[in-house]
Chains A and B, each alone.
Chain A
Amino acid sequence: MSAFVEMNGVHLRYGGTGGTLALADCSLKVADGEFVAVVGPSGCGKSTLMKVCTGLWPASRGNVIVGGHEVSGPVGIVGMAFQNSVQLPWRTVLDNVMLPLEIVEPHRSRLKANRAEYEARAIELLTLVGLKGFEKKFPWQLSGGMQQRASLCRALIHDPKLLMLDEPFGALDMFTREELWAVLQDLWMARKPTIILVTHDLREAVFLADRILMMSARPGRIISEHKVDFPRPRTLETTYLPEFTEITHALRSQIQQARAAQAA
């Protein structure tokens, strides 16, 4: 497998030698254009894994390779979205979505002269997630689900090769969440970025991912992986298939074991 993202024996310890060991001997491989979900018991270092992968935090030991280069600082080609959609309240939805274009080259230097072209691109993306007509609104005038849609657009506007999602739908109600699963699937199928989705919702992981990586309790490492072969586009009907329930159930008991191992 030619890996786009690769972690080899990564250790990460916070706050010096006496600090908490968040990741221990964590290794994973994600292929170009693959959709991978990372699940695990709470506090297992899922978010830490994300920060190490994007180069926001340096690994204490081991190495991280993204796009063929060893990571030594922020990668710069990554889009990110979090549980908290963190929009800028003084900017309109459109200007929020376009924020990455003001930072990432080559868009950064092209933005002024080609503003109309970029705006059209942002509006196209907003249309794709069902936010057409809201681009001149302010984020705080939108519901939580709509803010999260905008947040996804912001993560994708600069066509990142790698998309890091840290429980992006965690704060939403179930109906909105399931709706956004489909939106995210559409976005991924249309653009095929590599996606690493961190979540504690097993159904979400099974619905969205090609492959699910299971983490152990802290210090986190990958203990198993599950391939998910449902054809795409998957629909909510998929979630009622017996095979779907089977995978979810298997993951569920494995998490239980991981938690029990920690307690012991």
Chain B
Amino acid sequence: MTTSDDTPVIATEEEITSPAPPPRPLFLDRARLEKVLPWIIILAFFLLWEFGSRVVLPLFTPRPEIVLPAPSAILPAMIEDWRAIVQNSLYTLETTLIGFAIAIVVGVAGGVAIGSSRLAYAGFYPILIGFNAVPKIAVVPVLVLWFGIGTIPAILTAFLISFFPILVNVATGIATVEPELKDVCRALGARNSDIVWKIGLPRSMPYFFASLKVAITVAFVGSILAEATAGNHGIGHLTSYAAAQFRVPLVFGGLIVTAAMGILLYYIAAWFETRMTGWATRGMDNPVAGY
């Protein structure tokens, strides 16, 4: 509540009985603030970065531009090498999306298989955790050994790192169908496939879309990892190549572009989520819920 000198500190009777007026917004109403705040924070982040590398870092190191170049130094480097950055980003994007697409297919199919049978759930879960626990950086050399240097190891790494969250979430959604609902259907003579198809799958969609948001960002980690250790294209390759030549501003340029692509794809996934599973977030569009 805003208070000024002329408002009484003690509420009058009238104030108590009449409904309180909505609080006056400080300078933006909340809905608009919610829209602009991310941009303000990103801007503040870069300003802080600029300040850190121009003012603070020189106190500790004689070559600050090698340790952490300022955004104002990164931008020219990005512009100078824009062609390489665009080409390699698009390449990485393509690799990531192919790996991600395979992850969706395998994740959903595996999730359905494991989630619809208690036995499969119990049997396959440990080995899947084992697969997921292996650091993917240790797998890349193996993939290179099998498929040679290039696109395929990057696609496979993106796939390997991102299918697990999808599979686990779809399996959970299907495995947690309400027992009463199963009884209703089984008493009607429903086959297991009916229950999965009509109830399990639609029910797991919110889990599925939530997992997509996680999976798409880690898919980038996978493909860039593979490109950096054993690739001749892509952002990962570009950054490791630039690092070897001490072109540090370009390295950071590559990282920034990757982060931007990650954010973009995250929001595409989130948009699909709200479009497809609005029923699961019922009540969230209530204006009061944001408070």
Contact = CB atoms under 8 A, between A and B. Distances in A.
Contacts of B203: 88, 90
Contact of B183 (A80, A154, A158): A80
A99 B189 contact: no
A80 B178 contact: no
Contacts of B180: 82, 84, 86
Contact of A54 (B187, B277, B280): B187
B198 interface: yes
Interface string B275-286: 001011010000
Given A104-B188, A104-B189, A89 B282 contact: yes
B264 interface: no
A141 to B, nearest CB: 8
A208 B263 CA distance: 60
Interface stretch (A12-20, A70-78, A120-128, A187-195): A70-78
A80 B282 contact: no
Contacts of B184: 80, 82, 86, 154-155
A90 to B, nearest CB: 5
A140 B189 contact: no
A88 B206 CA distance: 13
A138 interface: yes
B189 A90 contact: no
Contacts of B183: 51, 54, 56, 80, 82
Contacts of B64: none
B185 interface: yes
B189 A56 contact: no
Contact of A56 (B186, B202, B280, B282): B186
B186 A100 contact: no
B181 interface: yes
Nearest to A141: B282
B188 A90 contact: no
B199 interface: yes
B177 to A, nearest CB: 10
A103 B279 contact: no
A178 interface: no
B194 interface: yes
Interface string A40-75: 000000000001001110000000000000000011
B67 interface: no
Given A82-B180, A84-B180, A103 B280 contact: no
A140 B279 contact: yes
A86 B181 contact: yes
A43 to B, nearest CB: 18
Contacts of B280: 89-90
Contacts of B66: none
B118 to A, nearest CB: 15
B199 A88 contact: yes
Interface string B137-178: 000000000000000000000000000000000000000001
A164 interface: yes
Given A89-B280, A102-B198, A164 B187 contact: yes
Nearest to A166: B180
B190 interface: yes
Contacts of B282: 89, 138, 140
A166 B181 CA distance: 13
Of A77, A78, A154, most buried by chain B (CB within 10 Å of CB) is A78
Given A54-B187, A56-B186, A103 B202 contact: no
Contacts of A103: 185, 188-190, 194, 198
B186 A138 contact: no
Contacts of B277: 90
A105 B194 CA distance: 13
A158 B188 contact: yes
Interface string A86-129: 10111000000001101111000000000000000000000000
Contacts of A56: 183, 186-187
B166 to A, nearest CB: 19
Contacts of A86: 178, 180-181, 184
A76 B198 contact: no
B209 to A, nearest CB: 13
Contacts of B188: 74, 76, 78-79, 100, 103-104, 158
A84 to B, nearest CB: 6
Interface string B186-208: 11111000100011001101000
A89 B202 CA distance: 10
Contacts of A74: 186-189
Contacts of A140: 279, 282
10 contacts: A54-B183, A56-B183, A79-B187, A80-B187, A82-B184, A90-B203, A90-B280, A102-B194, A103-B198, A158-B188
